Structure 1
Amino acid sequence: MGMSIRSLTAAALALLVSSVAAVPAAAHAPDAAADTVLAQTFAGTELTVALRHPERVPGPLRVDLIAHLPAAAVTIAVSVRPVTSDPVDAVTVSVERDTARTYPVELTVRGTGAHWLELRAPGEVSQLPFRVLVPRAGTAGWLATGAFAATGLLLACALAGAVTGRRALAGLLGGAGATAFVVAATVALLTATLPPAAPEGAALTGTAGPQGRPYAQARIRTEPATPAVGDEFTLRVELTDGSTGRPVDDLVPHHAALAHAVVTSLDGTAFHHVHPRRVAPGRLEVRLRAARPGPHVVTVEVERAESGGQLVSGRFEVTGDARTVAAPPLPQPLPGVPRDVVAGAPVRVEIDTGPGRIQPWLGMAGHLIVRDDAGAFLGHAHELASMNADAAGFAPPDDTVAAYGPTLRFAFTFPAPGRYLVWLQYVRDLRLVTVPYAVNVRAEPA
């Protein structure tokens, strides 16, 4: 109570500086503005759709459509809407043929929570789910912020009292300010050890129950039922819940897509790695062109909310004469693989993609897709450096940034002896490159 004006002033200034320098608990909130990136095979073009989330609502939603080569000429209407209302604020984008570039779009969102980004082109529609999230501080964060504000106000009043000669009042206010500062600093430090407050608009968790969600039941078919070689057809995947029989409409992004579909002819000469679009609850579709006649194998990877990844598969037949289409190149031995590959043993693969750096696709520098001769097994490996960075929590660079390579490294275990077809995929200059290979695997020694 009897401290001097000089000491009170020094203490007040020290506390004020400390309170300004302190980081409120709200700074530990999650980054609700993290981008949502989804691949989409749409209107004959492999698109990467990157949503740059708004920092506030109402606010701007910036969307980049990144077209990979080969690209078709198409006009796409892009709109955004909450899941419970009609589309608003549509913008039209004209994608140029065989031009790799980014098409920026700016839309407006007016609230938080679940939304659709809709893409529309002649004969095609796609609905990409995402959530608009806005950071917010928890109760402790607001308490710390209020205590810091009270500290500043009390110390300012204490200084005023000291200057006007009201020493007793100044001492009382100074002590109260010091107490407020201790409370604020303590709450801020404790809050730093607690989970961050869920951003506004976040989905509720734990709704699936302790066992998670059941696997989806899948029906895979084509329209027409038997495509002809050289013709365009629609591959349709219908997903129903394994316990209720209702359409599955809770797919979440997995490796930068809602669904990954690998479609190959049984002889391995035709290959498609595509990303079907959501057209209705429980229905995914993608348009393809039949390149080779004969049996075809389909494998689709999806993931449900609060559940794990799941593979579903099917087959269909393509009619026609193989002599009417040019024969594709035969798979070559996979370079960078030891000559003696043993089933059940991990093998390291190192591939030189040639001069120049490459860009990420689906969040990874490269993809190795492996299928056995019979079409009963499908495996997928990611490039090691980019996969390890993803596992460590490092966000991949934008699809337009040449940040990897030119050497790609993979690790893979072939499950059984036999011949395997392998497709290497990577992106350079926004062109998707697919190279087929073959690997012969022998049985493990007795």
Structure 2
Amino acid sequence: MKRHWTAIALALSLVFVSACGKAADPAAAGHDGHGQHAGDGKEAAVPDSTKAVWKLSAAKPQAGANTTVSVQIQDAQGKPVEKFDLNHEKMMHLIIVSQDLSVFDHIHPVYKGGGLFEIDTRFPSGGEYKLFADYVPTGGAAVTKSERIAVDGPKAAPVPIAADAKLTKTLEGKEVTLSYDHLMANMEIKLNFHLVDAKTKKPITDLQPYLGAVGHVVILSADGERYLHVHPTDEKAKGPDASFMTTFPAAGTYKIWGQFQQNGQTFIVPFVVNVP
């Protein structure tokens, strides 16, 4: 299956959100579920009545070894949910994040039918990870479900989760600056990513669609409990700016991953902010 581990300038990043609605999963309760996913900040009219049953191919996954992740989606009566809508070109988005948020992966399980999704992946080091599954049952609202797992094996040195003093990062020949109109919990905010060539400082205007949009943004609180997956306000933009509307559900420290594509290559740029 397709795997995508991305190394980012200052930290290694691994994993997870998608359309619109209220998260039924307590682990994702810091965000209004998927209103943030769709980028419209609105709650879904249809409540979530599904549940996710997680299964790993090994009781104790080993770092570096192939692990099959299975997610069985059921209704309130425990019966398989059969039909799902495409959400940004995929039936399910799976986000994987390490406990210190240094590892981030965004992958896409294959639908096997009968509500079952599967994918093979490798966890880069031992420790705790949190998995987020985003999906849209046909006729329902977008949903996020999460699961914490422990991986055996050598652990990487923990990376402190601290707010960036400067919101400009350089990676893979690109200079990316994050800006916002204001920063406060429970208030809608516009996040803007400005991209230029790191050497020439010329604006980048040839971003390619990534999963049907100019970019995607995943946001997670430092404790891993508040999760947002935000889509751009203008999906057809090509740069140098990509804007996203969202609402931070509570004060605290959050990590933001911006995901973009240029010249057929996907790149991820991370930022950490303190939200008053």
TM-score w.r.t. length of structure 1: 0.45
Partner of 2:226: 377
Q: Deviation string for 1:364-393 (max 9, x for gaps)?
A: 10111100111111101122222xxxxxxx
Partner of 1:306: 139
2:196 is paired with a residue whose SS is coil
2:234 is paired with a residue whose SS is helix
Does 2:275 correspond to 1:437? no
Partner of 2:240: 406
What is the CA distance between 1:221 and its match in structure 2?
2.7
Partner of 1:251: 84
Partner of 2:42: none
TM-score w.r.t. length of structure 2: 0.71
1:415 is paired with a residue whose SS is coil
List runs of 5+ in structure 1 lacking aligned partners: 1-41, 47-68, 71-210, 387-395, 397-402
Q: Which has the higher contact order (CA 8 A, sep 6+)?
A: 2
In 1, Cα distance between equivalents of 2:46 and 2:249: 29
In 2, Cα distance between equivalents of 1:326 and 1:374: 14
Partner of 2:26: none
What is the CA distance between 1:329 and its match in structure 2?
11
Which residue, 344, 362, 365 being the options, matches 2:214?
A: 365
Q: Which one has a bigger Cα radius of gyration?
A: 1
Q: Contact 2:48–2:143 (CA<8 Å) still a contact in 1?
A: no
Q: Contact 2:254–2:275 (CA<8 Å) still a contact in 1?
A: yes
What is the CA distance between 1:428 and its match in structure 2?
0.5
Letter in 1 for 2:63: V
Q: Choose 262-271 or 351-360, whichever is displaced more.
A: 351-360
Change (3 A) 1:330 1:236: farther
Which residue, 155, 178, 193 being the options, matches 1:351?
A: 193
Q: Contact 2:99–2:129 (CA<8 Å) still a contact in 1?
A: yes
In 1, Cα distance between equivalents of 2:136 and 2:96: 19
Letter in 2 for 1:229: A
Change (3 A) 1:279 1:215: same
How many residue pairs get matched?
A: 222
Change (3 A) 1:231 1:331: farther
Letter in 2 for 1:289: R
Q: Deviation string for 1:138-176 (max 9, x for gaps)?
A: xxxxxxxxxxxxxxxxxxxxxxxxxxxxxxxxxxxxxxx
Letter in 1 for 2:234: A
In 2, Cα distance between equivalents of 1:433 and 1:405: 14
In 2, Cα distance between equivalents of 1:212 and 1:326: 40
2:131 is paired with a residue whose SS is strand
Partner of 2:123: 290
2:179 is paired with a residue whose SS is coil
Change (3 A) 1:364 1:413: same
Percent sequence identity over aligned pairs: 25
Structure with greater helix percent: 1
Please tell me the root mean square deviation across aligned C-alpha atoms, in Å: 3.0
In 2, Cα distance between equivalents of 1:225 and 1:353: 43
Q: Deviation string for 1:181-231 (max 9, x for gaps)?
A: xxxxxxxxxxxxxxxxxxxxxxxxxxxxxx979622211232212222222
Does 2:75 correspond to 1:241? yes
Q: Contact 2:217–2:258 (CA<8 Å) still a contact in 1?
A: yes
Change (3 A) 1:362 1:404: same
List runs of 5+ in structure 2 lacking aligned partners: 8-44, 168-176, 198-203
Change (3 A) 1:437 1:45: closer
In 1, Cα distance between equivalents of 2:254 and 2:50: 28
